[in-house]
Structure 1
């Protein structure tokens, strides 16, 4: 058999790989560049991946790259979310105590609730509101990507998700700078300040930066508090799925089921609680999850239309800014009441 005949007899098609590889490779290169810049300047890598992708969005107009870019955005997101399950440790959540856990859960739940009310006033559909308010309530860009993947499609969904990611990263960076100063003025202890930071700042990197800029004890409590919020992500994803089921017709309800990557997320989270997973495996999965999410954000940026994003960015930033202040208020008052 000739070489060409042997290739064509393989279960996959060379044309399939040729269609996806160029665009996916572009997304990977953009994510590598973003990582290098973020490392050099100590800035949020998600933000640079998004901005660099948007700056290079003209590449997505090339039909040879379009399919691969979309593939990287969709599959990078799904696998990245699935691997996030190994990040969540219920032991860490229990270490905070029932009162603090209830406070964090209350803040996240009411943030989504307030967001739904404001979103209705703005004329947003429910899916738009859930993506934006969930990003504030849980864990910024990662939550926005996860919620975007399980909500029903609507017009300009990708553009809305990108704006939410950009707004979440911008607000998290501002919070990293100003929240520690504000909380010190208000007289909170280092541990209390760390809990508030973890309960109110969106992205994990900025939580760690803000916490350890105060002290080691503040950094440790901030990280613990933040991981508790991350642990709420599967609950929110399940709630969104169940709500979506309730809005579908009877035929669609029979076909209802969690997306495979949500199921994988939950399975890995449970496995992390019941089995002794080697630290090297957990660290590798954390790195791989972050890498895939960065590639997904870069691909989303590549497929974006910056002119359309600018038209809706102000409203989304204001919406998420109000919710951010609400979350900070809930966390601060709650810690003050708990003593």
Structure 2
């Protein structure tokens, strides 16, 4: 059974049987003195601290640069991580990088919903909810359908469609964590995060100009922006660029899309589990623990049982966890791997972005 410390290319990392591999030493040639048996937690920390420390350091650097240059933090964390890809090739950092890209990722996703309540969603009314549901479902379906026609895997279509339809990089990471693992899984996740972040940044600049040009009022503009732009930060920036009212509406609509991450990821996990166990009479669906935490936080916040200080702390931990996981995923991917994928995945995500924008615009102009 694999763990959060297992590398996805274990055969290529036999050298890690000795932690002295980074220094060019071999367990066969160096006789280490006997050491007292450490506790389980101490041994675990010794395994992960090097790689985890590198991932956190990259996250700190990326966050500082994003604040200085007012750019999405993911656009810094990913390429920075990829420049340290050699650390995932050999050395004692490998277990910590694997831990950061898996366990830390799930912590970040689980804490993502600490800011959302059921009341906020219900206040939007029926039509925005229907618009969001239609946009998400149709975008994921479009991705799965077109991906096969472009010679891509259906998993990539679901991954990219979910990222575009729900909440960008965060959705990509959450969905990737429950999809079947293949040789291309890590590369596909990185490519999706990079592309969806770039498209979201472009939308943040272009969409406010577009809704102003076609004459949408503040409420309808907010629904369009919240229903189409991929990442939460870009939605907030685009909405408040027009007016405070537009910003408020856009934020709530976007939070509704983020809420859909729970049922979407659970559905994908259910389908994957059922397909993996076809023909087994004792097939059971295991609910990922991070989804349980995801749902519990929404319930607690909706009932008013989650203090604001706890909610703010959870959001901060979630943000840092996701950036750290992105840095780790970057270290697991090389520029050569990304260059090899060609134009088809990017074309698919552009099509998905145009699709959800068209669906939302039609709903805004004709259904409200």
Q: Does the pair score TM above 0.5? A: yes
Moved more, 33-42 or 152-161: 152-161
* Residue 164 of structure 2: aligned partner: 136
Cα offset, 1:66, TM superposition: 1.2
Equivalent residue in structure 2 for 1:300, among 329, 332, 346: 329
1:70-118 deviation per Cα after TM superposition (whole angstroms, max 9, x unaligned): 1111111111111113233221111111011111111111111111110
Q: 1:13 to 1:276 in 2, by over 3 A?
A: closer
Equivalent residue in structure 1 for 2:303, among 264, 274, 277: 274
1:94-105 aligned at under 5 Å gives the runs: 94-105=122-133
Where do 5+ consecutive residues of structure 2 fail to align? 1-32
CA RMSD across the alignment: 1.8
Where do 5+ consecutive residues of structure 1 fail to align? none
1:245-285 deviation per Cα after TM superposition (whole angstroms, max 9, x unaligned): 33232438624211111122112222222243111110100
* Residue 185 of structure 1: aligned partner: 213
Equivalent residue in structure 2 for 1:314, among 332, 339, 343: 343
Aligned length: 335
Do residues 59 (structure 1) and 93 (structure 2) align? no
* Residue 44 of structure 1: aligned partner: 72
**In 2, are the aligned partners of 1:46 and 1:294 still within 8 Å (CA)?**
yes
1:163-202 aligned at under 5 Å gives the runs: 163-202=191-230
Q: 1:89 to 1:6 in 2, by over 3 A?
A: farther
Equivalent residue in structure 2 for 1:215, among 243, 257, 271: 243
Equivalent residue in structure 1 for 2:267, among 223, 228, 239: 239
Equivalent residue in structure 1 for 2:363, among 315, 334, 339: 334
- Secondary structure at 2:180's aligned position in 1? coil
Moved more, 162-171 or 62-71: 62-71
**In 2, are the aligned partners of 1:167 and 1:316 still within 8 Å (CA)?**
no
Could you tell me the TM-score, scaled by structure 2's length? 0.87
Equivalent residue in structure 2 for 1:73, among 84, 93, 101: 101
- Secondary structure at 1:151's aligned position in 2? coil
**In 1, are the aligned partners of 2:145 and 2:157 still within 8 Å (CA)?**
no
Higher RCO (CA 8 Å, separation ≥ 6 residues): 1
Cα offset, 1:5, TM superposition: 11
Equivalent residue in structure 2 for 1:145, among 173, 176, 189: 173
Moved more, 246-255 or 162-171: 246-255
Moved more, 178-187 or 158-167: 178-187
- Secondary structure at 2:328's aligned position in 1? helix
* Residue 126 of structure 1: aligned partner: 154
Q: Which has the higher helix share?
A: 1
- Secondary structure at 1:150's aligned position in 2? coil
Q: Which has the larger radius of gyration?
A: 2
**In 1, are the aligned partners of 2:232 and 2:254 still within 8 Å (CA)?**
yes
